[in-house]
Structure 1
Amino acid sequence: MDLPPPNAASVALIDRGRVLLIERAFAPYKGLWTLPGGRCEPGESAEDCARREVEEETGLRAFALRQVMVQSLESRSGSWRLAVFATEGFEGEIVPSTEIAAWQWVRPEALGALRTTSRLDLVLERAFGLFDRR
């Protein structure tokens, strides 16, 4: 059975060993720390969605996206297939939207101190692995 294409996307913006996390201001996942992202618009590719959502939520323009994984997620507001991307390529200044309660640059080892979305540690391990320079 073929799985449906992703209908949501998020991006790990990686900078000097840190990732930009946002605290969601609204459902789903209100109050949880996660990657910027959201649902695809009709006819929009997951990669285009990822770039658009990053810019809408943070004011940053992301480029050179690499796909990390696709996750199947569910919440009280529905279910979707989330394409997760990662990049070290972005520009601009952070200007958070009203969808974001807070934002911060976080080292992966500090995730345990935050209330995050499910499996964010695994997602970030894979995302950082794409750029591992050891």
Structure 2
Amino acid sequence: MRELQEIGTTLICPAAAVIRGNCLLVGLRHYTPDKWKTISVWTTPGGRCDAGEKVGDALRREAAEEVGITDLEITDFIGTVVGAKEGDVVPIFACRTGQEPRLLEPQKFSEWKWMDINQMPSNFINRAELELIAGFIRNHALSPGLSRS
């Protein structure tokens, strides 16, 4: 995917939509005023590109740092949305893993879990991102291993 090879900037924040069946891997992130504003939101693994870092490398790095996923398989480019923070751009990638998430950054997240795409809470960080991911899941009829039917 050419989107994975693009060189990112600190305004590019790739997101990993790690999917199992009808479930999406999400974490409850607690922001503080020094990082954005005081707010707790559900989000997918992902984060900012380092200067000069390829988007795909940033996505794999963030998945490993945030949830300990080291076997991330990026299967599809879902689309791009405007980020929740002004100026941010969020390319979203469908992914799969054979690993279970681990809480590696308790200072930022309180939990990671698989959540049914149809039961997402109202405090998901970016509704546009969630709508794209939900549409992808519905349109691709993914099985538990993210294999296409």
Q: TM-score range by the shorter chain?
A: 0.7 to 0.9
Q: Which runs of 5+ in 1 are unaligned?
A: none
User: Partner of 2:54 in structure 1?
Assistant: 45
Q: 1:24: Cα distance to partner? A: 1.0
* CA contact 1:18–1:106 (8 Å) conserved in 2: yes
- Matched with 1:71 is 81
Quote how far apart the aligned CAs of 1:20 are: 0.6
Q: How many aligned residue pairs are there?
A: 128
Residue pairs, 1:1-134, within 5 angstroms: 7-26=12-31, 27-28=35-36, 30-61=39-70, 62-75=72-85, 78-91=86-99, 94-97=102-105, 98-111=107-120, 113-119=121-127, 120-128=129-137, 129-130=139-140, 132=142, 133=148
* Greater shift in the superposed pair: 40-49 or 59-68: 59-68
Q: For residues 8 and 121 of structure 1, do their structure 2 counterparts lie closer, same or farther at Cα, with a shift above 3 Å needed?
A: closer
Structure 2: give runs of 5+ residues left out of the alignment.
1-6, 143-147
> 1:127 & 1:58 partners in 2: Cα distance?
23
The code of the aligned residue for 1:107 comes to: D
Identity among equivalent pairs (%):
20
Query: 1:13–1:90: 8 Å Cα contact kept in structure 2?
Result: no
Structure holding more strand per residue: 1
TM-score, reference length from structure 2:
0.72
CA shift for structure 1 position 126:
3.5
Q: What residue identity is the alignment partner of 1:117?
A: I
User: 1:88: how far off?
Assistant: 2.0
* Aligned counterparts of 1:95 and 1:117: Cα–Cα separation in 2: 19
Aligned-residue offset at 1:87: 1.2
Amino acid in the other structure paired with 1:116: F
Label 1:127 to 1:51 Cα distance change in 2 as closer, same or farther (>3 A): farther
TM-score norm. by structure 1 comes to 0.79
Give the SS at the match of 2:14.
strand
Distance 2:102 2:92 in 1: 20
Q: How far off is 1:65 after superposition?
A: 3.7
Is residue 8–residue 50 contact of structure 2 (8 Å, CA) maintained in 1?
no
Aligned-residue Cα RMSD (Å) equals: 2.5
